[in-house]
Structure 1
């Protein structure tokens, strides 16, 4: 077990399974099939992200360095939450970008469904956590990863 501390963007408590990518997370490409074609498991549709492609994201703790891609990223995160296809949590090893931050904050405000979001967890976090590990997130930005 290892504990990390990050900066809180959207507070919340969650305990769920990790889904990890060390690549940039293209929000639009990843959620496209879910939002456009009704995939309720929100399987990652970004063919350029082999770590996540085809894996269900709904209800998982998405562990990533940063988001990349379209300026629609924030609205994609909001839409996924509105359609109840959101990740359980977003954990960023680096600083969150403004579009992803806006999407998670707007989701919490407009849908009344906060998706806990923590950034600045560091490179050691992304090196340590592996897909399938159990992750616990606390409101103060404490993240505990169980092996």
Structure 2
């Protein structure tokens, strides 16, 4: 695979590399990780049966590549719980604008818990068309994302 570079907007900047976990659907944080909130689980395997891209896949420590999050405001609390337990994705990469659910949880975790999950948005639809689960991804603090 040839390396391809995308430029987005750094919301929570930083430098990191890792393996992509990709959903081309809106990502329901609550449906994906409900057991973390309700049962105190530390498993980050996606349990959202409606997400055919990620269902049953391990998402902890991955670079999550999605269009946006969907669902309820409890998603923000769930992101903070995951940050406190240090079990969430390494980075959140959005093809579209970051949505208010994700922004709330990720910003509060960064400010209140001193746990930064690197976050880039506005990477574009071409980004999600190109990247696949398992691809190596490198994220730079200026919002540049390298795939491959």
1:5-84 aligned within 5 A: 5-84=7-86
Task: Check the 8 A contact 1:9/1:119 in 2, yes or no.
Answer: yes
What is the count of residue pairs matched by the alignment? 146
Answer whether contact 1:3 1:145 (CA < 8 A) is retained: yes
TM-score by length of 1: 0.94
Tell me, which stretches of 5 or more residues in structure 2 are unaligned? none
* Alignment partner, residue 133 of structure 1: 135
Q: Is the 8 A contact 1:89 1:115 kept in 2?
A: yes
Q: Report the RMSD for the aligned CA atoms in angstroms.
A: 1.1
Residue 91 of structure 1: how far off its partner (Å): 0.3
The CA deviation at 1:131 is 0.4
Residue 102 (str. 1) matches residue 104 (str. 2): yes
In structure 1, stretches of 5+ residues that fail to align are: none
CA distance in 2 between counterparts of 1:78 and 1:9 reads 17
1:3-41 CA distances to partner (integer Å, 9 max, x unpaired)? 001011111111010000001000111111234335434
